[in-house]
Structure formats: structure tokens, C-alpha cells
Structure 1
Amino acid sequence: MININYIIAIASGKGGVGKSTITANLALAMNVKGYKVGLLDADIYGYSQSTILNVKKKIFINKKKRIQPIPYYGIKAMSLGFIVKKQTKAIIGRGPIISKLLVDLFTNTNWGYLDYLFIDMPPGTGDIMLSISKSISVSGVIIITTPQDVSLLGAFKGINMFNKIKIPIIGLIENMSYYTCKSCGYSTSIFNNKYNNSLKKYKIKKIGCFALHKTLCDKKPILIAKPNSKISVFFKVIADIVDIKLKPQFRIGL
């Protein structure tokens, strides 16, 4: 029996926008708030959470033939990278097989009780997303994008899909929004970021913006490597926003 209060899918229209890095740090930030948190790497073809978390351990099966997730700084993590022998191993399979593999990873993992499960989704709007919407009761989705035309196009395709399959969109996080010069402190936008009118059209709020910053790509998530940094504090603020959006009773007085 799976006992999870809230399941949050983290999605993007294309790869390379920082979705997996943001997912890992958001899960850790929610754990800092005192919640029991799980992290499922659903990007079967491009699994990366084992690398982002820098975990070398392999999972084992308990006596009840359930997969034991890897404990990581208070969260429970599950990724195909904890199973395969080599991180460079390519997973080959058609949509229905991969979708079944993902659902099996979710249902056969011994999560125990969780307040939140964060699912690191594969990029795009393919079979896996539809399988998850049918097999897993997702509480809401967070869209990750860069303010770049190609990324935004994919993001809005995803927004349309989630609206059609009736999964609530918690909000949008913009990554690589700007770059700040270390020498002079001047910040400048890297890509086009004039899409706020489109967000208003879809009634979606931007719940966070992250600069292009190398510490987000260190060997450990920044919540662990530098827990008191400005970026870590910002992740905790976003975790607060997500918590409030999923718990309407907390909105009194806001």
C-alpha cells in the first residue's frame, strides 16, 4: 500500500533546462521544512538523479520483494541509476515498455509514509507523462523552463497537455534567467523573457527565477553543499510556496 499525501511532477518541454537539478533541491528543501519526502527519477531514458545526488550505492530488494529506496540526507530517492551497473548504459525500449517500467518503479518501491513525493519527469509530452497521469494520482505539476523561445514553446505545449489531462499546474520556474558578473555585479538577461502575457493567458504564476550559476551544477545539490547560500534560501521559499498552494487551509490571512 502506497501512503503518500502529495505527488508533485516536475516537468519541462525540453531537456537541458535544469529540471533534474531543481527537482533534487526542491525535494531537499521540503525535507528541511520537516516533511518526509521522496524523489523518483522518472526520466528512464535520461536518468540523472544518481549523478546529481552523487550516490554510488545500489538498491536492494527486501524480503517482501519491495525495492528499498536510497536514503539521502533525509529523503528517500529512487532512480534507474541505482540499478544499472554503468551510468553510461543506454535504456532501450518502446513507449509501453518504458511506461510499465516506470509504474513498476513507483508501485514496487517501499516508500513508507511520505508527505511529498517529487517526480523528475522526462522532458516533452510523450507516453510516460500520459501513463503517469493514468496510473499515479498527481497532485500538481511544476513547469521548468529557460526564457528561450524553443524552451518556452515546449513549456507551453506541456501546459496545454496538463490542462487537457486535468492535472493542476502549481506554477512555473524560470532557470538561467540572467547572469551576474562577478567583477562588477551587473546582471543581464541571457535570453528573451517577454512572455508574461502568455502566462496570464493560461492563468499560471511564475513561482521562482534562478540565475545562471555554476554552484547549481556542483557535485552535490546546493541545499547540501551550501545550505545557507542565497540560492538555497530561495529553494526553501519556493518549497513554502508549493506547500501553501497544495494546502488551501493555510491561505487564511495571506
Structure 2
Amino acid sequence: MSENCNQNCSSCGDDCAERKEPMDFSEKLNELSSVKKVIGVVSGKGGVGKSLVTSMLAVTMNRRGYHTAILDADITGPSIPKAFGIKGKATGSELGLFPIKSKTGIDVMSTNLLLEKDTDPVVWRGPIIAGMVKQFWTDVIWNEVDFMFIDMPPGTGDVPLTVFQSIPVDGIIIVTSPQELVSMIVSKAAKMAEMMNIPIIGLVENMSYFKCPDNDKDYKIFGDSHIEEIAEKHKLKVLAKLPIDPKISAACDKGMIELYDGTWLDPVAKILEKMEEKEMIKIAVASENEMVTEHFGHCVNFNIFETQNDQIVKSESIANPGHKPGFLPNFLNDMGVNVVVSGGMGGGAIDIFNEKGIEVIVGASGNAKAAVEAYLAGALKSTGSICHEHQHHDECGN
């Protein structure tokens, strides 16, 4: 171990015995599968209609021409097959398991599709349940899926943690209800997503109101909504407010959720479509540990942020591989970087980046992640801080 060790292995290039790399828990998708976008549907507590929202989202996107699928991660309380009227059992081969298709072609995999009887309880401990969720990702053959919706169990326990660590979730939708108690529960779910660097697409409030068929007035059966306060607190979007509708409940009970009539989730569908269209942007911040470095070529490490839909979805730190003139622009280009952020940079390096179609933002300072968030929000613009004719001229990327 070096005398100057700062215990941050991600910013160090030394190969020492004490080196600790971050553990990678990600699981590979079955080699025969193809899934474009993965959306988690979560709630901090049970009974708010999370599975209903999951089902309706899959149906909504399916109606828009996308091939959708549902991975039912609520292992001990699966309800997705019931909502879709699926009574058959999943089959498989030496290649893997095959999901069951609903009446309109939505692929579904759930514990109930593997049990002999739907009423058989799943009496498993946490690690086994988490392992089953991973197998639904790795062992099931998901064929050309545009949007996969993962129906999570309530809370912030083993399964949500497993999903966030093992599956490349593109974003989550948090389902809530009007009760004031839910505010605290939603905060827990939101904070967990933030800790795991999972983008939060927004909030959906279920059982928001009841529209009386006699006078067409809205009645707040469960009291006033607090969703706007929650959204403002966590800087989130309110995506939709679903009513208490006996017809939807009846459709679920009869296994006919695919016939539900309503446009409440159309705004969510439009956001998901934009996610499907928008490409991933990779941003490299020349840094000294977590802070933006003043001189590009003098950076200790690069904090790399993968972003989508103007949100950070993944981040990592890599050590600066060397200060050889002209090397770093090519190195970052080979990594697929689209934007480079730094305090200052040599004019030659900027020219090389521009030739490769990489945007350069100079004049940044402060925390690296905050700088990226400012860039995504449109608040960080290049100041033109080019390193000219100073003692570091040959080491600022030229």
C-alpha cells in the first residue's frame, strides 16, 4: 500500500495487495433473450395497487404496438397471472424457461406459473426468493421484448435490492395512495432508488378519487392527496392519478385486465416512448477523486456517468491511465464517451475531441456528479477555459 493511499481504489492505478474493487452483482440475460427497456414498479407498502398498475402499464404499451412483458418479482404474493386470466403452467427445455403469453401477446413469468396449485404457499427464505428473481431474468427466454415491467414486492428488502443490483433497470415508477402515512413509505422507496443510482420516472397515485356515476363528481374516499407534496420533496413528476373504478377491479377478478377502458396512463406511456427513443449518453468528468479537476491532463481519475432521459443511470470511477500527449482523447473515445467535462483543457485536446464528435465542457468546478446533473439540466455551459501557454501546457491533453 502506498504511503499516500486515500482508501479510494477507484481513483488509483497501483496494483497492490490491499486493492478493493467494487463488487459486480449484475446477472447476464439469457443469451437467447432480448429486452430493450426494463421498468420496475415499486411501492413502499402493500395494498396500494402496484400489481394493478404494472398490469395496466403492460397493456397500455402493448396497445401502442410494443412487445411487452411482465416479470413478476412478487414471489410470495404473485397476482399477475390472475389479472390476465392465465391458468396454464410455464414450460421449458434445455435452452431455458418459456414465459406464457396472455390473450393479447404479453409475456408473463410468475411463481404461480411454476407451482402445481395456485393456492400453494411459497414458504421460502429471503436468499432463495432473491435467487428465483434472478433466474426469471437469466433462465427465462424473453423474445424481442420492447418493455419489460417488473412487479416488485412491497418494501425495500431483499428482492428490490436484488433487482436493482442484478438487472439493468432503466427506471422505476413508484405507486402510492392518498393516505398521509404513505408519504413516509414513499420516501423510503425513493431514497433506496437514489442510493442505488436507479432513475425514478415518477409517481402514480392509485385510488386517488371515486367518480360518482350519478352526478359525475369526484369524491376523495381516502382523504386529500399528498402526492404533490411528496413529488416536490423528491423533485419527482406526478405521472398519473387513478380512480377507484369497480370496473377495473371486476376486470382483474375475471382475468380480463387487457380489456380495461381508460386513458389515465397515457402520459406515462409517452414518457416511456421517449426513453425508448433516446440514446444513452456517456459523460466523463476529469476528476480528483469526487471533485472536478482544474487541469484535464492532471486528473487523478475519470468519473464516468452513463445517462438516459436526462438522468444518471450508472456511474463508475477509473484511474487516469497516463498523461502522454494525445492519448487521453483517444482513450475516452474508445470507451464510448460522448461528453467530457473538465476545469480546463489544452486547445489541441479540444480539437481532437471535436474531430471525434465528442462535446467538451470546460470551466466546470465542484463535485463531479453535481456538474453532470447541471449539464443534464442545461445549467452547465462551456466557458472556453482552455489551458494556454502555462507550465502544464503539454500535460493538459495536447
Question: Is the shorter-chain TM-score for this pair beyond 0.5, marking a shared fold?
Answer: yes
| Cross-structure match for 1:36 | 67
Indicate if the aligned counterparts of 1:207 and 1:241 stay in contact, CA closer than 8 A: no
Q: Is 1:242 aligned to residue 272 of structure 2? A: yes
Distance 2:163 2:138 in 1: 11
**1:197 aligns to 2:232 (yes or no):** no
Partner-residue secondary structure (3-state), 1:173: strand
Query: Is contact 1:13–1:152 with CA below 8 Å preserved after alignment?
Result: no
Q: Which moved more, 1:184-193 or 1:40-49?
A: 184-193
What does residue 216 of structure 1 align with? Answer: 248
Asked whether the equivalents of residues 179 and 188 of structure 1 are also in contact (C-alpha less than 8 Å), the reply is yes
Alignment match of 1:148 (pick from 147, 170, 179): 179
Equivalent residue for 1:3? 34
Partner of 2:99: 69
Are residue 87 (structure 1) and residue 118 (structure 2) matched? yes
Is the CA contact (8 Å cut-off) linking 1:4 and 1:113 kept in structure 2? yes
Q: Which moved more, 1:134-143 or 1:144-153?
A: 144-153
Q: What is the aligned counterpart of 2:259 among 225, 236, 241?
A: 225
**TM-superposed deviation, 1:139:** 0.3
| Matching residue within 88, 101, 105 for 2:136 | 105
Q: Is the 8 A contact 2:180 2:226 kept in 1?
A: no
Query: How many residues in Structure 1 have an aligned counterpart in Structure 2?
Result: 244
Cα separation, partners in 2 of 1:209 and 1:23, compared to 1, 3 Å: same
Report the Cα offset of residue 225 of structure 1: 2.1
Q: How far does the alpha carbon of each residue in 1:57-96 deviate from its partner, in whole angstroms, 9 at most, with x for none?
A: 11111242x1110011121111111111222211111111
Match status 1:158 vs 2:192: no
Tell me the distance in 2 between the aligned counterparts of 1:91 and 1:134: 23
| Structure-2 separation of matches of 1:25 and 1:152 | 23
Matched to 2:240, the amino acid is: G
Higher share of residues assigned helix? 1
Code of the aligned partner of 1:140? G
TM-score normalised by length of structure 1: 0.90
Which has the higher mean CA deviation after the structures are superposed, 180-189 or 44-53? 180-189
TM-score, normalised relative to structure 2: 0.59
2:163 to 132, 136, 156: 132
Q: Write the distance in 2 (CA, Å) between the matches of 1:112 and 1:246.
A: 17
> Where do 1:116-131 residues align within 5 Å?
116-131=147-162
8 Å Cα contact 1:180-1:211 kept in structure 2: yes
Per-residue CA distance 1:93-140 (angstroms, 9 max, x = gap): 111111011101221111022111100000010011111111111000
| Structure 1 residue identity aligned to 2:39 | I
Matched residue SS, 2:93: coil
Unmatched 5+ residue regions in structure 2?
A: 1-30, 280-308, 310-398
Identity of matched residues, %: 34
Which residue number corresponds to residue 199 of structure 2? 168
Larger-gyration structure (1/2): 2
Q: Which amino acid aligns with 2:255?
A: K
* Partner AA of 1:180 in structure 2: K
Once residues 237 and 203 of structure 1 are traced to their aligned partners in structure 2, the CA distance between those partners, rounded to angstroms, is 18
Shift of residue 198, structure 1, vs aligned partner: 3.1
Which 4+ residue blocks in structure 1 deviate beyond 4 angstroms? Answer: none
Say which SS state the counterpart of residue 67 (structure 1) adopts. Answer: strand
Structure of greater relative contact order (alpha carbons < 8 Å, 6+ residues apart)? 1
What is the alpha-carbon root mean square deviation over aligned residues?
1.7
